[in-house]
Amino acid sequence: MLELRSQAVAAVDQVQSVNCQLIVRSELLELPYLELIARVREEAEENPALEFECDPEFEQVPTVTIGHDPASVRGADGASGWSDATTRAPAVHDLREELHWRVGWLTGERMREIARYLIESLDERGYLGTTVLDAAFELDADAAEVEEALRWVQSVAPPGVAARDLRECLLLQLQALPEQPEHVRSVIEHCEQAMERGSWPALRSALGISREQLTEALRIIRGRLTPYPGEQFRPRWHNLLPDNPHATPPDVILTAAGDRVEVELTTSQTMDLRVAEAYRRLDERMRALDLRADDEPTRRARAQVRAARQMIWSLRQRERSLYRISRAVAREQREFILDGPLAHRPLTHKRIAELTGLHESTVSRATAGKLVQMPSGESVPFSVFFDDALPAKTVLRGLVAGEPADSPLTDEELQALMAERGFEIARRTVNKYRRALGIPSSVERRRMYQAA
């Protein structure tokens, strides 16, 4: 006879769980200042228990300009040695970094996500390296959403950037110029046909324009437009002016105090995040009386308080991590910060991770896409501190700046002069550094000198 028995067996299984606070903290850590402001503002608009105030005109901070007597430095307010850190734009950054900072102006996280994807799809020439349909498939978005995000990127990027072909690139640049004759647009719209057939006279006949009009159109296209707008991106010095409305505030502010470097975060001066008073009192009363919410409005209110506190905690954790990283960088690169690029020391994310006790990936995420205001007042990307080629690039820039206008230095000549100064690098490396600095070739520089 079979005997049936039932036994309860306890088994221990490992189940992965996701900590929402850690997710939010990681998300906030990656955001540069403008995107962080947009993210927190969006959260505050959705959660009435979270009160958010942002004052971009925060209290001014002292800065010292390298190469000048600190006592003679005057900021925007006319006070000696003072300037507004929020009005400083980056002095050295690439096209993608510039566009990523501007993504913070977009409303809606979905549109920002699509815009970031499109920006990362740009090639070195400035062209879009994907199609709208491919991007929509990758992002699980509608083609109309991608088109809208693309139009926004094209509107804030240098003219011609994010174009899908040469025709669109030239048309975007033409739109940015002062009013031009209509036949110039017509030539651009049909120039590919002429290049394929090798017949400009046939194009002139098809468009019904005169020889003089065709000559004028080609002169404008060749003289004022470029087929590679991404390579033409150069930050202008006028972007550093205090009244620039599009200047990007830094995430970290470094100030010189004697031979020390002090670190301050922009968010600690500009942002005030707190739980709304009415919601806070309700939650505290319920906690004190050890009461459970029996009705839906009260449950929802307490959930909103928890979400608000989670956002505040995550923001504080972001500030702690970024501050620790910035302090470590400032200690390691003190000579560079105070004395200039030639005092730059090789630095890695791994080294900063060892000094702070944070994971190397955390250091990488915390510094990506963020700006640091130097004691000179200019802002630079965090990546500058990890660029071991900076001293060589600085010497290279100085050599080009002092070259004779009638005989610009070739890459071979620059290589030899660099070697004399202790930088033994290959000619192709000179070419790489020169392009990274936005310095044209010797042939192009000769043309520029002759035109000037």
- Model pLDDT, residue 22: 59
Whether 302 maps to a domain, the answer reads: no
pLDDT at residue 331, rounded to an integer: 93
**Tokens for 277?**
């008073």
Residue 360 lies in a domain: no
Q: Which CATH number do you get for residue 430?
A: 1.10.10.60
- Residue that terminates a domain, selected from 180, 203, 232: 232
Q: How many CA atoms lie within 13 A of 385 on its CB side?
A: 32
Domains of the chain: total: 2
Contacts by 359-365, CB closer than 8 A, 24 or more apart: 362/29, 362/321, 363/325, 365/26, 365/29, 365/30
Using CA atoms, how far apart are residues 435 and 387, in angstroms rounded to an integer? 15
d(CA 161, CA 232): 10
Helices (H), 271-367: 277-288, 296-332, 334-339, 349-356, 360-367
For residue 147, the model assigns a pLDDT of: 93
End-of-domain residue from the set 232, 248, 273: 232
User: What is the rounded average pLDDT of the residues 23-31?
Assistant: 76
Per-residue model confidence (pLDDT) at position 68: 29
Is 193 contained in some domain? Answer: yes
Q: Is residue 50 part of a domain?
A: no
Q: Work out the average pLDDT over 310-332.
A: 92
Range of the domain at 420: 390-451
Higher-pLDDT residue of 354, 26: 354
Which of 217, 232, 247 is where one domain is finished? 232
Is 445 a member of any domain? yes
Domain for residue 334, yes or no?
no
- Judge whether 170 lies within some domain: yes
User: pLDDT at position 248, please?
Assistant: 66
Per the CB < 8 A criterion, the answer to whether 61 and 85 are in contact is: yes
Query: Which pLDDT score is estimated for 384?
Result: 86
Q: Average pLDDT, stretch 59-84?
A: 32
Q: Is 95 among the domain residues?
A: no
